[in-house]
């Protein structure tokens, strides 16, 4: 197994554990993140608790027990813990610090659930990426999704950082103009920004509402990455010559949360400031995105992972192209962050 | 794989391979015990043979061959062995000692089949635990079962040695009074004895025939463990104040035979000296026990094993409670026995 | 995993990748050989290409892309390679040697596809075993098959080199006279030849057309092995006393191509110079062979592999019989060839 031997994950960062809507009051969510099994549940107050899904006594999963508002009782021997992981009831003796179950800082923001696996004292909410565009988008103009994928999260990150793949993997819906677009990559602090600027091109299917045929158009896409794998994709598409505006720019989150060394929780959320009331456009866009991510990206990523197997990506000697510039920088930054965290 | 690397099993002991009824004349039983694949069959004389299920020639399983009374012929190249493992026919040449297939001492006692995986000379039948209570129980008062479980046998042993779990895992059928019962643990020679004494309690469902509502009752349970994992559970339940008698005490075997590092053959046999002719009570008890063991214990044990994974139980740092006293002593004794066997 | 750690395969040799008929024009075939994933396809010219099924850029399988005549375009980022593995189109920049995908010499001969995994310069077509008997056999007298089997290819080789197994595994169809036949083994250069000469025997089912009951007959079988696992089985069967002729001798290929350490592509092709127009006999023979290989040999080989597990065959200490003489010589020759290849 690669897990534990070779695969290390950044710990001091916020991972998206899910969408807020996945956790209605009184429900629970069990999700493995970076090899750590987590139990999340929503208390009556609305607050979300996140505990290691493993009782400290005999390692039964707490999720096999009973949750009552702000407490979970282990279904095996009845130890009861609150949302901070403190044991609040031990039917077999006294309470002690040792009986604590590991809890994780959890924050609900931008319609998503964020957990921190590292040193709790460093769990600064300001470190959550600013995704306020999700908050301000009207509900009809917000398309969120979840695509569990059997591939390492770095492969999924690479996929977004090199959108030239759209020309080959999504040729009729999203691609066609990416490879020939003017591409630039820059590093801003610890963010990596890559842009594609395609002028006077024939728009692919997903852009035909914005650039109705037979018109040609300008399409500009920017991906902004921050660790561990939060990417915001800004997209502007309009008839050739139109000036680029924020009002014409859609923003889409692509967030890759590692599950194990070979699987990823892929969360996406498309938002737009235009056509916000157009239900048909939303439905059509939802179908196009879901088809592309779940039925084109996901199978290719899983086949890619299968060919890589348990080998190290670099050890296989990938031949790098110009389109890999952003992905390579991101992999290097991640490597530095990991090394700093391990040594630091 | 843990097997072979980390997992060691006691060899010089009797493991229950099955129930006698599983092996009618002319039938065979293939069962892996402590990672060793065994072929058992019953000869016409009634005698049971137990061989390594692997031909010494080219390792085909002998169970894929033909058994005729007291001989098995390999289905691949025709070597024939008797129940002692001696080659009695080699179509391709002479007989030799080298052609022997490993055989294992096997004894049928207490309605069960017992095999000895260790040094044959040490296979003393007196070392089989005394379960004569099974022999004397009338057939209607004897409820035997088999629950294959995907968890290490030590977890299944722990489960019986800490019956406080009944209050949480079997709250309406078997538990409710265990946690508050007076509990004692003692070591007698190499046996571990743990007792629960619950006075004047509300009886759970399985005891309501013995303590009819609205009466309250006294429930006394004793578990006696001997290596490797043979446990006899004595249970006395009667209206409050009734003197405890052998005639009122049910005896139940719980025997955990390791299959692999992560799976166990769980055998149980409940017997009682009372209501021996009551067919309805038997049926009701069979249903209650099967439900508890196969549909409550088994899933919890398997989930517990899943959370432990291939990690060592102690390395995970379990937080011990008073209820673990017996289980910890048993694990220590087992560890000493294993070390003695390896060094000895 | 055994793969990579312990399992080594001969590289400088021709492995059968399939039958020519499996690769019609415009189709592709993905097959793992000796742990190497291969993509084979047939160009419009009829030529067959064989590439590593892994793009050198980001390791997506090329088989998930698009093949157009003599080029394959990766479905992920559009790199296009010709049948020699050279990159002929890079949409993202210039061409370079580094962009080459590993290609493998491939030859179509004797109705089969042969690939060479080792040093390309040494890929001498003369090293393909002479199976011209397949070429000259009329179509009705040629019965080819493919039996994927979950067992190491050396076990499948052993199976053919010791046909005494037919008496036990195929007793009514192919065996009965092998164990008592006069058997000889000799090494000719690096070929191993084993012969069985059975005189005046009762013929098994598959030979009753050639030796009609109640006649008895002479059956002579020769297996000629050459590395890595190409075996030709010559079979002569006729009423007792008939002189052996080439015209009365059937020739059958048994070719074992390793897929992984625990799986094999088993190819067979039976040919005969007699009864070449007899369609009923062909059908009857096809059924008998398919039944024997796919429903008798394959299950036994897979069970044998299961009992061996990931252990080394020799480390388990097999007890050798006279019937193993040819198999042992073959294993030794293979071992020498492997060592020579590794050191050389």
Contact C307 B73 (CB under 8 A): no
Contact partners for chain A, using 3 or more CB pairs closer than 8 A, are B, C
Alpha carbons B31 and B257: distance in angstroms, whole number: 11
Alpha carbons A266 and A145: distance in angstroms, whole number: 8
Q: For the sheet containing B112-116, what is the strand order? A: B14-19, B112-116, B106-109
Q: Could you count the other beta carbons within 10 Å of the beta carbon of residue B173?
A: 18
Residue B6, pLDDT > 90, answer: no
Alpha carbons A285 and A43: distance in angstroms, whole number: 34
Instruction: Write out pLDDT tens, residues B141-183.
Output: 999 999 999 999 999 999 999 999 999 999 999 999 999 999 9
Q: Could you count the other beta carbons within 10 Å of the beta carbon of residue C314?
A: 9
Instruction: Write out pLDDT tens, residues A169-179.
Output: 999 999 999 99
C162: contact with B, CB 8 A cutoff: yes
| Cα atoms in the Cβ-side hemisphere of radius 13 Å centred on C266 | 26
User: What is the pLDDT, as a whole number, of residue B7?
Assistant: 76
Look up tokens 């692997």; give the residue.
Answer: B54
Residue A251, pLDDT > 90, answer: yes
Alpha carbons B70 and B83: distance in angstroms, whole number: 6
Determine the distance in angstroms separating the CA of C17 from the nearest CA of chain B, rounded to an integer. 28
> Which of the 8 DSSP states describes residue C85?
S
Q: What is the mean pLDDT of residues C172-189?
A: 95
Task: Enumerate residues 92 to 121 of chain C having a beta carbon within 8 A of any beta carbon in chain A.
Answer: 92-93, 98-99
Phi, psi at B277, each rounded to 5°: -100, 0
Tokens of residue B287, six digits:
């249903």
Which residues lie closer than 8 Å to A329 by C-beta, 6 or more apart?
A185, A187, A192
**What torsion do the CA atoms of A63, A69, A71, A76 make, to the nearest 10 degrees?**
-40
Buried b (16+ CB within 10 A) or exposed e, A35-58: bbbbbbbbbeeeebbbbbbbbbbb
Of C191, C266, C196, C292, give the one whose Cα is nearest residue C237. Answer: C196
| Cα atoms in the Cβ-side hemisphere of radius 13 Å centred on B43 | 13
- Helix H or strand E encompassing C158: helix C153-161
Backbone Cα Rg of chain A: 22
Of B123, B122, B38, give the one whose Cα is nearest residue B83. Answer: B38
User: What is the pLDDT, as a whole number, of residue A273?
Assistant: 96
Q: What is the mean pLDDT of residues A232-240?
A: 98
User: What is the pLDDT, as a whole number, of residue C2?
Assistant: 38
Q: Which of A1, A55, A76, A98 to mutate to test the interface with B (most CBs of B within 10 A)?
A: A76
Tell me, which fold does domain B132-343 have in CATH?
Answer: Naphthalene 1,2-dioxygenase Alpha Subunit; Chain A, domain 1 (3.90.380)
Determine the distance in angstroms separating the CA of A336 from the nearest CA of chain B, rounded to an integer. 29
Task: Enumerate residues 22 to 81 of chain A having a beta carbon within 8 A of any beta carbon in chain B.
Answer: 37, 53-54, 56-61, 64-65, 73-78
Determine the distance in angstroms separating the CA of A320 from the nearest CA of chain C, rounded to an integer. 6
Q: Could you count the other beta carbons within 10 Å of the beta carbon of residue B46?
A: 9
Residue C4, pLDDT > 50, answer: no
Contact residues, chain A, for C65 at CB < 8 Å? 168
CA dihedral (B295, B301, B302, B303) positive or negative:
positive
Q: What is the mean pLDDT of residues B33-42?
A: 98
At residue C343 the predicted structure's pLDDT band, cuts being 50, 70 and 90, is confident
B154: contact with A, CB 8 A cutoff: no
Over chain B, what is the mean pLDDT? 95
Return the residue of C nearest to B91 by Cα.
Answer: C179
Instruction: Write out pLDDT tens, residues A141-154.
Output: 999 999 999 999 99
Q: Which of B38, B58, B76 to mutate to test the interface with C (most CBs of C within 10 A)?
A: B58
Determine the distance in angstroms separating the CA of A92 from the nearest CA of chain C, rounded to an integer. 44
Considering chain B, what percentage of its residues have pLDDT values greater than 70? 98
Tokens of residue A63, six digits:
């999720």
Q: Who among B164, B306, B308 is closest to A92 (CB)?
A: B164
Show the CA angle centred on residue B88, arms to residues B83 and B94, nearest 5°.
150
Contact residues, chain B, for A76 at CB < 8 Å? 165, 168-169, 300, 304
Contact partners for chain B, using 3 or more CB pairs closer than 8 A, are A, C
Contact C59 A169 (CB under 8 A): no
Tokens of residue B39, six digits:
């072929």
Strands C36-42 and C182-188: unpaired
Determine the distance in angstroms separating the CA of B322 from the nearest CA of chain A, rounded to an integer. 7
Burial class (CB in 10 A: 0-12, 13-18, 19+), B11: middle
At residue A6 the predicted structure's pLDDT band, cuts being 50, 70 and 90, is low
Tokens of residue C109, six digits:
């001969």
Alpha helices in chain A (DSSP H): 132-136, 153-161, 166-169, 279-292, 298-308, 325-343
Contact B76 C318 (CB under 8 A): no
Contact C321 B92 (CB under 8 A): yes
Contact residues, chain B, for C179 at CB < 8 Å? 78, 91-92
Instruction: Write out pLDDT tens, residues A275-307.
Output: 999 999 999 999 999 999 999 999 999 999 999
Please say whether the beta carbons of A38 and A53 come within 8 A: yes
Tokens of residue A74, six digits:
């282990």
Contact residues, chain C, for A168 at CB < 8 Å? 65, 73-78
Alpha carbons C322 and C326: distance in angstroms, whole number: 9
> Which of the 8 DSSP states describes residue A62?
G
Tokens of residue C43, six digits:
């160009």
Show the CA angle centred on residue B321, arms to residues B316 and B327, nearest 5°.
75
Over chain C, what is the mean pLDDT? 95
Going from N- to C-terminal start, the domains of chain A cover: 14-127, 132-343
Q: Could you count the other beta carbons within 10 Å of the beta carbon of residue C341?
A: 16
Residue B344, pLDDT > 80, answer: no
SS3 A286: helix
Q: What is the mean pLDDT of residues A221-232?
A: 98
Look up tokens 């007196």; give the residue.
Answer: B126
Query: Does the bond joining C214 to the residue before it have cis omega, within 30 degrees of 0?
Result: yes
Contact residues, chain B, for A74 at CB < 8 Å? 168
Beta bridge partners of A38: A31, A52
Please say whether the beta carbons of B201 and B176 come within 8 A: yes
Residue A1, pLDDT > 50, answer: no
Tokens of residue C87, six digits:
């990159």
Contact residues, chain A, for C56 at CB < 8 Å? 317-319
Contact C91 A179 (CB under 8 A): yes
Contact partners for chain C, using 3 or more CB pairs closer than 8 A, are A, B
Residue A38, pLDDT > 90, answer: yes
Please state whether the predicted TM-score (pTM) of the whole model is above 0.90. yes
Angle of helix B153-161 versus helix B298-308 axis, rounded to 10 = 130
Contact residues, chain A, for B300 at CB < 8 Å? 60, 64, 75-76
Determine the distance in angstroms separating the CA of B214 from the nearest CA of chain C, rounded to an integer. 58
Phi, psi at C104, each rounded to 5°: -125, 135
Beta bridge partners of C113: C18, C108
Burial class (CB in 10 A: 0-12, 13-18, 19+), A125: exposed
Considering chain B, what percentage of its residues have pLDDT values greater than 90? 95
User: What is the pLDDT, as a whole number, of residue C344?
Assistant: 76
A2: contact with C, CB 8 A cutoff: no
- Helix H or strand E encompassing B303: helix B298-308
Instruction: Write out pLDDT tens, residues B181-200.
Output: 999 999 998 999 999 999 99
> How far, in Å, are A104, A143, B286, C177, C269 from residue C292 at the CA level?
60, 58, 47, 16, 14
Q: What is the mean pLDDT of residues B236-242?
A: 97
Q: What is the mean pLDDT of residues C118-137?
A: 97
Q: Who among B317, B318, B321 is closest to A93 (CB)?
A: B321
DSSP states of A116-146: E-S-GGG--GGGS---HHHHHS-GGGEEEEE
- CATH class of the domain whose range is B14-127: mainly beta
Which residues lie closer than 8 Å to B119 by C-beta, 6 or more apart?
B11, B12
At residue C3 the predicted structure's pLDDT band, cuts being 50, 70 and 90, is very low
Contact C57 A321 (CB under 8 A): yes
Please say whether the beta carbons of B166 and B289 come within 8 A: no
Considering chain A, what percentage of its residues have pLDDT values greater than 90? 96
C328: contact with B, CB 8 A cutoff: no
Buried b (16+ CB within 10 A) or exposed e, A161-196: bbbbbbbbbbeebbbbbbbebebebeeeeebbbbbb
ipTM higher than threshold 0.90? yes
Contact residues, chain C, for B61 at CB < 8 Å? 303-304, 306-307
Alpha carbons C165 and C181: distance in angstroms, whole number: 13
| Cα atoms in the Cβ-side hemisphere of radius 13 Å centred on B28 | 22
Contact A319 C91 (CB under 8 A): no
Contact residues, chain A, for B324 at CB < 8 Å? 58
User: What is the pLDDT, as a whole number, of residue A82?
Assistant: 97
Contact residues, chain B, for A59 at CB < 8 Å? 304, 307-308, 316, 318
Determine the distance in angstroms separating the CA of C169 from the nearest CA of chain B, rounded to an integer. 6
Please say whether the beta carbons of C266 and C149 come within 8 A: yes
Contact residues, chain C, for A303 at CB < 8 Å? 60-61, 64
Show the CA angle centred on residue B238, arms to residues B237 and B239, nearest 5°.
140
Residue B1, pLDDT > 50, answer: no
- Helix H or strand E encompassing B289: helix B279-292
SS3 B246: helix
DSSP states of B173-232: TT-SSSTTSEEEEEEETTEEEEEEEEEEEPPPGGGTTTS-TT--EEEEEEEEEETTTEEE
Contact residues, chain C, for A304 at CB < 8 Å? 58-61, 76
Of B168, B336, B337, B151, give the one whose Cα is nearest residue B256. Answer: B151
Q: What is the mean pLDDT of residues B34-49?
A: 96
Instruction: Write out pLDDT tens, residues A189-217.
Output: 899 999 999 999 999 999 999 999 999 99
């Amino acid at each position: 197994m690669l897990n534990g031997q070779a695969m290390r994950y950044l710990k001091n960062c916020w991972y998206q554990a899910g969408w807020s809507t996945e956790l209605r009051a009184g429900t629970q969510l069990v999700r493995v993140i970076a090899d750590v099994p987590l139990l999340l549940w929503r208390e009556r107050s609305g607050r979300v608790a996140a505990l290691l899904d493993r009782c400290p006594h005999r390692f039964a999963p707490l999720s096999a027990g009973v949750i009552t508002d702000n407490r979970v009782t282990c279904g095996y021997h009845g130890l009861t813990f609150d949302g901070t992981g403190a044991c609040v009831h031990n039917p077999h003796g006294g309470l002690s610090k040792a009986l604590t179950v590991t809890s994780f800082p959890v924050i609900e923001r931008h319609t998503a659930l964020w957990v921190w696996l590292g040193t709790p004292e460093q769990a600064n909410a300001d470190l959550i990426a600013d995704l306020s565009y999700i908050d301000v988008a009207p509900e009809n103009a917000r398309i969120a999704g979840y695509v569990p994928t059997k591939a390492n999260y770095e492969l999924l990150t690479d996929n977004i950082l090199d959108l030239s793949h759209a020309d080959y993997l999504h040729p009729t819906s999203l691609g066609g103009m990416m490879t020939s677009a003017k591409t630039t990559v820059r590093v801003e602090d610890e963010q990596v920004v890559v842009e594609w600027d395609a002028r006077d091109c024939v728009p692919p299917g997903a852009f035909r509402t914005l650039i109705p045929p037979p018109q040609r158009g300008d399409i500009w896409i920017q991906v902004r990455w921050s660790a561990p794998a939060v990417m915001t994709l800004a997209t502007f598409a309009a008839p050739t010559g139109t000036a680029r505006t924020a009002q014409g720019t859609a923003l889409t989150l692509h967030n890759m949360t590692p599950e194990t060394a070979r699987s990823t929780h892929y969360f996406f959320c498309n938002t737009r400031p235009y056509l916000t009331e157009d239900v048909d456009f939303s439905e059509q866009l939802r179908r196009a995105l879901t088809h592309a991510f779940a039925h084109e990206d996901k199978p290719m990523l899983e086949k890619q992972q299968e060919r890589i197997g348990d080998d190290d990506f670099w050890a296989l000697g990938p031949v790098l192209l110009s389109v890999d510039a952003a992905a390579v920088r991101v992999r290097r930054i991640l490597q530095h962050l990991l090394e700093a965290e391990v040594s630091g």
